[in-house]
Copies of this chain bind each other. A is one copy, B any other.
């Protein structure tokens, strides 16, 4: 491998369930993140069906285009699991029975108190000259082997098993086999400003050419990512990030990769809640439990979920009041008086039209009472996400007060 060229990775997913869209391929994203952080150059994600001829041809293609291939799926016991056989055909390596793989599988079934099916025997056949990757979390052993040019890692498609194999074996093996210069990725997490506006502000700044700028439009958060070369001086890196922060202002709720490691708004709130030793009780409506789901059990005392706002105001003995920001605040203040938690979050909403609502959020603690109104639009699952984020964001602001 020539110096200063980052090794090229192909993420290869297989299986009818992925190609037909029955399953969303979350493995590809996870594997890409891992490789990206290690400093690899991810050149392709490729997915194909369970078709022997296609699989063999693709493995040969990948062998000629990449240095590393991370392959998931096709190691199961059923008739449509063809990976080991395809790899064996592609590189002329016969399959042979692996006693240890079979033993581990038997032990796994014993532990579950489930008899092992005869079809599982197939999973213990691995290509010769490959190294087994032990699976302590399921039945299918993985394996790693060399093509003519590319190093292939084969892992099960079950995310839990695959992730455990990555952290127990593959990542270390990659580090050992490929010596690469890492890049430094700084992510600015943004709430309340769109991609175009961010781009326009960034365009007016002088960001050095060696710094790669990219965007990610998400719901409810947007991300601005700056990738610096490893050798980029720390002081200049910080100056660059400061400049961008100054330009974008308070819409940035977290800077990830510099001093902190904050992966989402929920994570940001979690870190603040734990640091400040706070606890919270909530009343949710539109977010329908999604606020609670994103909280940490260590500091969420309870959440009362009323999908219909009428049930919330009735239960909170405010049925005679209009549904408004003021009423949300009044309910939060009432609850705060008797609550066992140090904070209370209350959210109400008013459905103005099909797919359009106003949400009223209030957060009260012993020092402050904040409230906000915002409009959300779109289908109900989208409205749930935005409503839950509005709740979390007001909790965050209260914690920073």
Q: Which residues between 29 and 60 of chain A lie within 8 Å of chain B, taking CB atoms? A: 29-36, 42-50, 54
- Say yes or no for A223: interface residue by CB 8 A criterion: yes
- Interface pair B304/A305, CB less than 8 Å apart: yes
For the complex formed, measure the closest distance between the CB of A322 and the CB atoms of chain B, giving whole angstroms.
Answer: 20
Chain B proximity mask over A235-252: 1 for CB below 8 Å, otherwise 0: 000000000000000000
For the complex formed, measure the closest distance between the CB of A146 and the CB atoms of chain B, giving whole angstroms.
Answer: 24
Q: Which of A93-101, A210-218, A329-337, A365-373 contacts B (4 or more CB under 8 A)?
A: A210-218
- Interface pair A305/B288, CB less than 8 Å apart: no
Chain B proximity mask over A169-206: 1 for CB below 8 Å, otherwise 0: 00000000000000000000000001111011001000
- Interface pair A28/B25, CB less than 8 Å apart: yes
- Interface pair B292/A297, CB less than 8 Å apart: no
For the complex formed, measure the closest distance between the CB of A342 and the CB atoms of chain B, giving whole angstroms.
Answer: 15
- Say yes or no for A384: interface residue by CB 8 A criterion: yes
Contacts of A295 on B, CB cut-off 8 Å? 288, 307
Q: Which residues between 1 and 48 of chain A lie within 8 Å of chain B, taking CB atoms? A: 13, 16-26, 28-36, 42-48
- Interface pair B293/A289, CB less than 8 Å apart: yes
- Say yes or no for A165: interface residue by CB 8 A criterion: no
Q: How far is the CA of A293 from the CA of B384 in the complex (A)?
A: 9
Nearest 5 CB-CB pairings of A with B: A289-B289, A21-B32, A289-B292, A297-B307, A21-B33
Q: Which label, helix, strand, loop or mixed, suits the secondary structure of the A interface?
A: mixed
For the complex formed, measure the closest distance between the CB of A47 and the CB atoms of chain B, giving whole angstroms.
Answer: 4
Q: Which residue of B lies closest to A379 (CB)?
A: B160
For the complex formed, measure the closest distance between the CB of A6 and the CB atoms of chain B, giving whole angstroms.
Answer: 12
Most buried by B among A77, A293, A384: A293
- Interface pair A19/B32, CB less than 8 Å apart: yes
Q: A23-B29, A195-B76 are in contact. Are A301 and B297 (CB under 8 A)?
A: no
Residues of A within 8 A of B (CB): 13, 16-26, 28-36, 42-50, 54, 76-80, 114, 117-120, 139, 157-158, 160, 194-197, 199-200, 203, 213-218, 223, 225, 284, 288-293, 295-297, 300-308, 311, 315, 378-380, 382, 384
Contacts of A195 on B, CB cut-off 8 Å? 76-78
* 12 examples of A-B residue contacts, CB within 8 angstroms: A13-B45, A18-B29, A19-B44, A21-B33, A21-B36, A22-B216, A77-B199, A78-B195, A79-B199, A119-B196, A290-B293, A295-B307
Contacts of A17 on B, CB cut-off 8 Å? 214-216
Q: Which residue of B lies closest to A381 (CB)?
A: B293
Q: How far is the CA of A293 from the CA of B381 in the complex (A)?
A: 9
Q: How far is the CA of A223 from the CA of B21 in the complex (A)?
A: 13
For the complex formed, measure the closest distance between the CB of A18 and the CB atoms of chain B, giving whole angstroms.
Answer: 7
Q: Which residue of B lies closest to A77 (CB)?
A: B196
- Interface pair B303/A289, CB less than 8 Å apart: yes
- Interface pair A20/B32, CB less than 8 Å apart: yes
Q: Which residue of B lies closest to A215 (CB)?
A: B78
- Interface pair A196/B20, CB less than 8 Å apart: no
Q: How far is the CA of A382 from the CA of B161 in the complex (A)?
A: 13
Q: How far is the CA of A45 from the CA of B297 in the complex (A)?
A: 39
- Interface pair A47/B44, CB less than 8 Å apart: yes
Q: How far is the CA of A51 from the CA of B32 in the complex (A)?
A: 17
Contacts of A213 on B, CB cut-off 8 Å? 79-80
Contacts of A307 on B, CB cut-off 8 Å? 292, 295-297, 300, 302
- Interface pair A48/B54, CB less than 8 Å apart: no
Contacts of A80 on B, CB cut-off 8 Å? 213-215
Q: How far is the CA of A199 from the CA of B121 in the complex (A)?
A: 13
- Interface pair B33/A29, CB less than 8 Å apart: no
Q: How far is the CA of A23 from the CA of B32 in the complex (A)?
A: 10
- Interface pair A78/B199, CB less than 8 Å apart: yes
Q: A25-B29, A33-B21, A46-B45 are in contact. Are A16 and B304 (CB under 8 A)?
A: no
Q: How far is the CA of A24 from the CA of B23 in the complex (A)?
A: 12
